[in-house]
Amino acid sequence: MLTLHRVRGVRPGHDGEPIAGYAVLVDGARLAAIGPYEELWAAYGDRARVREWDGVLTPGRYEPAGAALLESAYHPDPREADALGSEPLTGEALAALGMTETRWGASARRGLQRLLALGTTALTGPFTRPAVRTAVQRSGLAEPPGGRPRALTVGGAADFAVFAEDGSCLATVLAGRLVYRRR
């Protein structure tokens, strides 16, 4: 399915000013077109779903300490909030939990949701805990060679984030799938 993302501007790389009035067209897991919204609408509007975001579309955030964030802290389940609180646990509090691989996997999935809500589209390992590695692989987050997410290019992966004027994340898209949307 084609999805046309209409935004205030597109910043195809990590630097520079956004290009006002631009949009991106996603076809499956790939970027099918990047260009002026009016031109993309004229060419694909009758076949594309349109998503409108009041922000700037970019390649997303890169988290170089991804493995450390996910493997050195326990992200409590909301059902544990009364006993453990809602913030990640580290140090002695983490050691007291008696973590199993299953619990590490569930914690990693919750930690990944926090990263997606920040507009993270790439992170770095290596991941030493099998359950954490599996959670990251299933999430769709990339571990790009050289670190940072690749620039947005036609034919490239549809991995990007949309950021509001205040820097907060409005949406994160991985492989063309909307994986986070601010409500």
Q: Count of CB atoms within 10 A of residue 104's CB?
A: 20
Helices 130-139 & 101-116 angle (0-180, nearest 10)? 30
CA distance 26 to 162: 14
Q: What is the mean pLDDT of residues 115-125?
A: 91
Residue 147 gets which letter from DSSP?
S
Is pLDDT of 94 > 70? yes
What digits encode the pLDDT tens for the residues 29-70? Answer: 999 999 999 999 999 999 999 999 999 999 999 888 888 889
What percent of the chain clears pLDDT 70, i.e. is strictly above it?
97
The pLDDT-based confidence of 183 (bands split at 50, 70, 90) is: confident
Residue reference for tokens 């770095």: 124
Res 146: pLDDT: 65
Nearest partner of 154 among 42, 57, 12, 54, judged by Cα: 12
The tokens describing 116, both together, are: 């997606």
| pLDDT for position 147 | 63
The pair of three-digit structure tokens given for residue 34, joined into one six-digit string = 């990047």
With 80 as the cut, is the pLDDT of residue 145 above it? Answer: no
How does DSSP classify residue 75? -
Q: What is the mean predicted confidence (pLDDT) over 76-83?
A: 91
Residue 169 pLDDT grade (very low, low, confident, very high; cuts 50, 70, 90):
very high
At residue 64, the pLDDT reads: 86
What are the angstrom distances between the C-alpha of 46 and each of 1, 2, 13, 80?
12, 10, 29, 47
Pairing of strands 56-58, 160-163: antiparallel
pLDDT of residue 51: 97
pLDDT-derived band of residue 125, with 50, 70 and 90 as boundaries?
Answer: confident
Please give the distance of CA 113 from its chain centroid, rounded to a whole number: 9
Q: Is the pLDDT of residue 148 over 80?
A: no
